[in-house]
Amino acid sequence: MSASASQSSANRPITAMPPARRPRLAPALGLLGAALAAAVLFALSTGSIPLPLDRVLSHLAQAAGLPGEPLGARDAAVLHTLRLPRIVLAAAVGMTLGVAGASLQAIFRNPLADPGLVGVSSGAALAGSVTMMLGVAGLGLSRSGLSLSTLLPATAFLGALAATILILTLARRDGRCSATDMLLAGIAVNVLGGAGIGLCSYLGDDQALRQMTFWMMGGFGGAGWTQIGPALALMLAATAGLLANARRLDLYALGERDAFLLGLEPHRFAVRTVLLVALGVGAAVAVSGLIGFVGLVVPHMIRLWLGPVHRRLLPATALAAAVLLVLADTAARSIAAPADVPVGLLLGAVGAPVFLWLLRARGGRPFG
């Protein structure tokens, strides 16, 4: 690690760089919070049944005990049972993937790390695929009364957990768990997951194949309060745990050696952080499939704006990633309405070129 750190100075531009004057955190968070509120209101009023913004506001005010006029029964049902859970889910998944991505980037000391990279998403996707291919009956649970939609979150989460345990076991030597080893183990787990998913698609019948394909494209379609409840709780718990890590993530980002010298137990901390990431990402994948790009690009952009200190980076990333996914989901269900474009595809198609452009535009400057 230290060798690669000293090599990176070779990329240093000749010209003197402008000094870092970081914007203040409170106004930045205020701005992002306002953007999230605006995005949520916009998402609530947009859709195949348009609800005018003033009537949505009036309805919400009335619900909060303020003077206002409630929506009609049909419109209120659209708002409460269709749009609201979907928007809350999109915001929670965005927040979780953003904070998980930023945390992994500190653990791997690589701004290109992503929850997909360490194999956490792969594990969840493989377990989900197996569940869909075999079906409830195939798993010998036909008499349990469970439906596929209740079984899926549980198996996807278990898959994420299993992948994480596998990575930690593979990467652990003499009680140590280095970031490099974790990254390499993650690549191996990703290849394994990809092969398993491929096998499931090969063996699955037409219906399972179609279901599997849509799930893996990622989306928030069909989200209802009862389905997303447990996943929401897990995502919030994982995100809270990761936000509480901020100061130690800064120490860890300096390198394992410096982190130890400044008082951190680096190996124990890395393991705990990766487990929290697995918890959050496993829950997110279970309810929304594979949604890439968020954990990679949002922390990256926030770092350009506010700098790499995690006490600033993590909360801003959580808000910005929530805004991004709420808007992306609104676009996904509007651009080809009444069809529902998978939001994972939309983000990939728009996000990857944006990221590549960003990479070029920065012209060899160091990340973060």
User: In the bound complex, what is the minimum distance in angstroms from residue 32's beta carbon to another protein?
Assistant: 21
Which H, E and C letters describe 287-342, residue by residue? HHCCCCCHHHHHHHHHHHHHCCCHHHHHHHHHHHHHHHHHHHHHHHHHCCCCCCCC
Half-sphere exposure of 261 (CA within 13 A, CB side): 6
Instruction: Report the site for another protein in 31-60 (rule: CB under 8 A).
Output: none
In this complex, which beta carbon is closest to another protein, that of residue 42 or of residue 367? 367
6 near another protein, judged by CB under 8 A: yes
Which residue is it, tokens 């708002």? 79
214 near another protein, judged by CB under 8 A: no
User: In the bound complex, what is the minimum distance in angstroms from residue 361's beta carbon to another protein?
Assistant: 16
- What is the spatial distance between Cα 367 and Cα 106, in angstroms, rounded to a whole number? 12
Instruction: Report the site for another protein in 109-138 (rule: CB under 8 A).
Output: 109, 111
In this complex, which beta carbon is closest to another protein, that of residue 214 or of residue 367? 367
In this complex, which beta carbon is closest to another protein, that of residue 275 or of residue 304? 304
User: In the bound complex, what is the minimum distance in angstroms from residue 309's beta carbon to another protein?
Assistant: 5
Specify which residues 176 forms β-bridges with: 173
226 near another protein, judged by CB under 8 A: no
DSSP secondary structure code for residue 83 in this structure: I
309 near another protein, judged by CB under 8 A: yes
Instruction: Report the site for another protein in 247-306 (rule: CB under 8 A).
Output: 247, 250-251, 253-255, 257-258, 260-265, 303
Cis peptide before 338 (omega within 30 of 0): yes
Inter-residue contact 280 to 92 (CB < 8 Å): no
Scanning 5-13, 29-37, 82-90, 163-171 for contacts with another protein by CB under 8 A, the matching segment is 5-13
Amino acid type, 67 = P
21 near another protein, judged by CB under 8 A: yes
**Closest Cα partner for 295 from 158, 95, 157?**
95
Scanning 65-73, 120-128, 244-252, 352-360 for contacts with another protein by CB under 8 A, the matching segment is 244-252
**Closest Cα partner for 300 from 61, 62, 113?**
113
Q: Give the ranges where 8-119 is alpha helix by DSSP (H).
A: 25-45, 53-63, 73-77, 84-108
Binding site for another protein (CB under 8 A): 2, 5-6, 8-9, 12, 17, 19-22, 106, 109, 111, 247, 250-251, 253-255, 257-258, 260-265, 303, 307-309, 366-368
